[in-house]
Structure 1
Amino acid sequence: MKTDAQIKQDVIDQLKWQNDVDETQIGVTVKDGLVTLSGLVFSYPIKLAVEDAVKKVAGVKAIAEDIKVGYLSEQNKTDTEIANSAVNAIEWNASVPNDRLLVEVENGWITLSGTLEYAYQRDAAKRTVEYLTGVKGVTNNITLKQVIDPKDVQEQIKNAFERSALIDAQGISIETSDHAVKLKGRVRSIIEKEEAQKAAFNAPGVYAVQNELKVVS
């Protein structure tokens, strides 16, 4: 099992490996496998890239981040400009029914609301706007509404796990109740834990996933 010092060094090395990340901007501390990130980056996509890079490091059990986003002066956008860009981007995304969504922007932070049928549509809406210039963060308040049999949901999630090359289906138990899913068991990495959650969210009729999977390295 890796020590915290080894995990920290691996995290730093992984950040150095990322072409779009300046590791000197990021502070890293590790305690009992929990990685805390801090610092200032110059775009929201870079912040996401840092988080994704750290998730790939073996031994990382959880991530707490306090990375701030500050844009260079020529990249600053007004809230109105960001809102217009977000609305246009959503309209061009065929995966998202744009007539059911509301976009609000305050101090560069986008809040999405409305009602959709599928989790993949909700996720697509968020991904569509989070890489726009001037965006400092995204809150996804889109709700889901669909009627389906919980037993069917459980079966579809199980099948999705078994199809995935990233998920060990044997180590995960699935509980369903109404539109909620609870995942229990053990996984090998944060990436596997998140992939399991994504697969569960993509099942029709799933509005919430309680992810109780434990990362065991």
Structure 2
Amino acid sequence: MKANEEIPKTDAEIKNDVLEELEWLPDIDETEIGVIVEDGTVTLMGVVDSYIKKVAAVKAIKGIAGVRAVAENIDIKYGNAYKKTDKEIAKAAANALEWNSSIPAGKIDITVENGWVYLTGEVKWKHQKHAAKKAVENLLGVKGVNTNSLIIEKTVQPSEVTDQIVKAFERSADIEAKGIRILVDGHTVQLKGRVHSIKEKEEAEKAAYKAPGVREVKNDITVQFYPVYS
């Protein structure tokens, strides 16, 4: 076999890696989650007793080499002793946002419907939006968090955006910077190239959003497999 020639994993191999990863995760009963793999797309099914377990399972699977996409159909069902009313969840979410110093005060509104938390408003940075989501998704009774209406308002003009993003890539242990190309058009950054996992692709997007002046990131990075040398 020629050097640098890539051997794709079979769906069976990917499924085995997914099952092993689920078994490795703490606090997750892998027998509660079913796995289907088709052409590198992993579908997760089943029932767990907290939203954070669902998030942890999906995040872990995205880091597996060969996984091209993840579709989750995992339901959340709390036991009677852990059920919370929407009012109780809303109050806890408000407190969680207030206590998080990285989230601007008074900028985010909270609505809760049937256990789903909807965050609306405006923040200046992508990491603030992410922090708001993280702050409420661990709360007891939460079935999901929707941040689609939480808008990022950039006030800083782009300056040397490409250099800053490249440096961010180089600082990250989770990103192979040499496989990624960066194109800047006004406030929009387009990422191209190849990486080896969905996690690496998502980390690159997160890093690009942190650059001053960036309002939109078009993530056209392709997920491919690790090369095997012989």
TM-score by length of 2: 0.90
Give the residue type in structure 2 aligned to 1:153.
Answer: V
Partner of 1:94: 101
Which of residues 50, 56, 66 is equivalent to 1:59?
66
Note the alpha carbon deviations across 1:140-166, whole angstroms, 9 max, x for none: 121111233334322211211122222
Q: What pairs up with 1:1-217 in 2 under 5 angstroms?
A: 1-140=8-147, 141-217=149-225
Structure 1 gap ranges (5+): none
Note the alpha carbon deviations across 1:106-142, whole angstroms, 9 max, x for none: 1110111111111111111111001100000001121
How many angstroms apart in 2 are the aligned matches of 1:78 and 1:178? 45
How many angstroms apart in 1 are the aligned matches of 2:200 and 2:35? 22
SS at match of 2:47: strand
Same amino acid, percent of matched pairs: 51
Q: In 2, are the aligned partners of 1:150 and 1:177 still within 8 Å (CA)?
A: no
Bigger RCO of structures 1 and 2 (CA < 8 A, at least 6 apart): 2
User: How many residues are paired up?
Assistant: 217
Task: Kindly name which structure, 1 or 2, has the bigger radius of gyration based on alpha carbons.
Answer: 2
How many angstroms apart in 2 are the aligned matches of 1:190 and 1:83? 32
Note the alpha carbon deviations across 1:17-39, whole angstroms, 9 max, x for none: 11211111111011111111111
SS at match of 1:98: coil
How many angstroms apart in 2 are the aligned matches of 1:153 and 1:167? 18
Tell which deviates more after alignment, 24-33 or 166-175. 166-175
- The structure with the largest helix share of the pair is 1
How many angstroms apart in 2 are the aligned matches of 1:155 and 1:214? 22
How many angstroms apart in 1 are the aligned matches of 2:184 and 2:78? 43
Q: In 1, are the aligned partners of 2:32 and 2:47 still within 8 Å (CA)?
A: yes
How many angstroms apart in 1 are the aligned matches of 2:213 and 2:33? 39
Give the residue type in structure 1 aligned to 2:79.
Answer: L
How many angstroms apart in 1 are the aligned matches of 2:172 and 2:160? 19
1:167 offset after TM fit, Å? 1.1
Structure 2 gap ranges (5+): 1-7, 226-230
Q: In 2, are the aligned partners of 1:150 and 1:176 still within 8 Å (CA)?
A: no
1:180 offset after TM fit, Å? 2.5
1:64 offset after TM fit, Å? 0.9
Q: In 2, are the aligned partners of 1:145 and 1:205 still within 8 Å (CA)?
A: no
TM-score by length of 1: 0.95
Please give the root-mean-square deviation of Cα atoms over the aligned residues, in Å. 1.3
1:204 offset after TM fit, Å? 2.5
How many angstroms apart in 2 are the aligned matches of 1:132 and 1:179? 35
Tell which deviates more after alignment, 146-155 or 118-127. 146-155
